[in-house]
Structure 1
């Protein structure tokens, strides 16, 4: 149990920020518990999906020295819990086509991979 308090507080804060853990307006115990269970189930589904997607992909390359130029194709950043939640929310709404949302997510993850590569390269100096 030692050292678990910080992890639990981080998970609680993540649930509040990204999954509406604190967005209930009920005053009775049963509706509050129902809301909390649904939020935690959604968070668990997204976390398992992100872990499953990360297990099947190779990590993007990292620079080895400060003057190394980036490779032509860095690939995509791994799917995160927040990105999976965002894609699910966009796919269940009819603002744009599914192809539009997937192209946008692909562009965003490619940009994140490139930014991460340059960040790691700047840390080598």
Structure 2
């Protein structure tokens, strides 16, 4: 089940689910680009998970990396500093949620 969920999420991140097949040549151009985008996200995410994260943050996820890359490539409505602060807040919130979830799981198992 976990593999299917990951596959569906990655399809959405890389844009593989946004193409409607009409002609082979355009499909043959779109799919390698989407696969390249997915590869970049996976490599950056794997590299991020090899480094220790700050105490109150979780490592960057593929979703977060995609948001940050989109922010740096497409001119955002707000400035980059705001987007980076938002990313940090979100990751801190996710870390707190994960800790709380693990505590609750541990309490129900004992």
Same fold (TM over 0.5): yes
Report the TM-score when normalising by structure 2: 0.82
Q: d(CA) in 2 for partners of 1:97 and 1:42? A: 24
Q: d(CA) in 2 for partners of 1:45 and 1:110? A: 24
- 5+ residue gaps, structure 1, are 1-5, 59-72
Judging changes above 3 Å, is the alpha-carbon distance between structure 1 residues 15 and 111 closer, same or farther for their aligned structure 2 residues? closer
Stretches of 4+ moved more than 6 A in 1? none
Could you say which structure has the higher helix fraction?
2
- 5+ residue gaps, structure 2, are none
Report the TM-score when normalising by structure 1: 0.73
Higher relative CO (Cα under 8 Å, sequence separation at least 6) belongs to 1
Structure 2 counterpart of 1:29: 24
Once the 2 structures are TM-superposed, how far is the Cα of residue 15 of structure 1 from its aligned partner?
3.5
Q: How many pairs does the alignment contain?
A: 106
Q: Rg larger in 1 or in 2?
A: 1
Establish whether residue 95 from structure 1 lines up as the match of residue 77 from structure 2.
yes
